[in-house]
Amino acid sequence: MTRTFSFKDFSAALAFVNKVGEQAEKANHHPDIDIRYNRVRLSLVTHSAGGLTAKDFDLAAIADKLA
C-alpha cells in the first residue's frame, strides 16, 4: 500500500516523517519512506506475512491523521 503526501516545504515534509517514524517505532512496523523536497511517499507491507496486515492499515491511518 503506497500513498504520497504533499507539504508546503521540505521542513514540513521532514517533520511529518519524524512523527511517522516515532509511531512506527512504537508499533515495531516500519514503512519504506521516500522524501522528494515537499513530497513524502510511504509504502507499507508486512514482508513476514507476504502482504498487507492490520499493522499496515493501522499505521496508514496514523499517517493520515498526522498529515
Question: Which domain CATH number covers 12?
Answer: 3.30.1360.20
C-alpha torsion 34→16→65→51, nearest 10 = 30
Q: Tell me the sheet residues that pair with 32.
A: 43
Q: Average pLDDT of the chain?
A: 96
Q: What would the pLDDT profile of 7-37 be if each residue is shown by its tens digit?
A: 999 999 999 999 999 999 999 999 999 999 9
pLDDT single digits (tens) 46-59: 988 889 999 999 99
The domain tally of the chain equals 1
Helices (H) and strands (E) in the chain, counts: 2, 3
pTM: 0.92
For 47, phi then psi, to 5°, come to -60, -40
By residue range, what is the domain housing residue 58? 2-66
| CA pseudo-torsion sign 60, 62, 64, 67 | negative
